[in-house]
Amino acid sequence: MTKAEVISAIADKTGVDKASVSITLESFFETVKAELSKGEGVFVRGFGSFVNKKRAAKKARNISAKTTVDVPEHYVPGFKPAKEFTEQVKSNVK
């Protein structure tokens, strides 16, 4: 499902026009990105958590140059689904 399809589905279910739904959805995405950039998480009860995951420093190999590269400690965005969400998906996906 694409973002446009999500916007259409929400507009059909709620009766709100697609432009308003699009603005709201874009605002949600921007808010999540901004909070994760500040190091904060976003927690949506019953849905899940958008959090930063810490990746430890490590040594990697550049096989084309045959050298070792140090990759510093860094954070990547992640999503952890809520228990109810996980259970719903498990029971419905076949």
pLDDT block averages, 10 residues each, the chain of length 94? 96 97 97 96 96 95 91 95 94 80
pLDDT of residue 94: 66
What's the rounded Cα separation, in Å, for the pair 31 and 40?
11
Q: How many CA atoms lie within 13 A of 41 on its CB side?
A: 14
Q: Which two tokens stand for residue 68?
A: 């070792």
Q: What is the pTM of this model?
A: 0.79
What's the rounded Cα separation, in Å, for the pair 93 and 72?
39
pLDDT of residue 79: 97
What's the rounded Cα separation, in Å, for the pair 22 and 6?
9
pLDDT of residue 92: 87
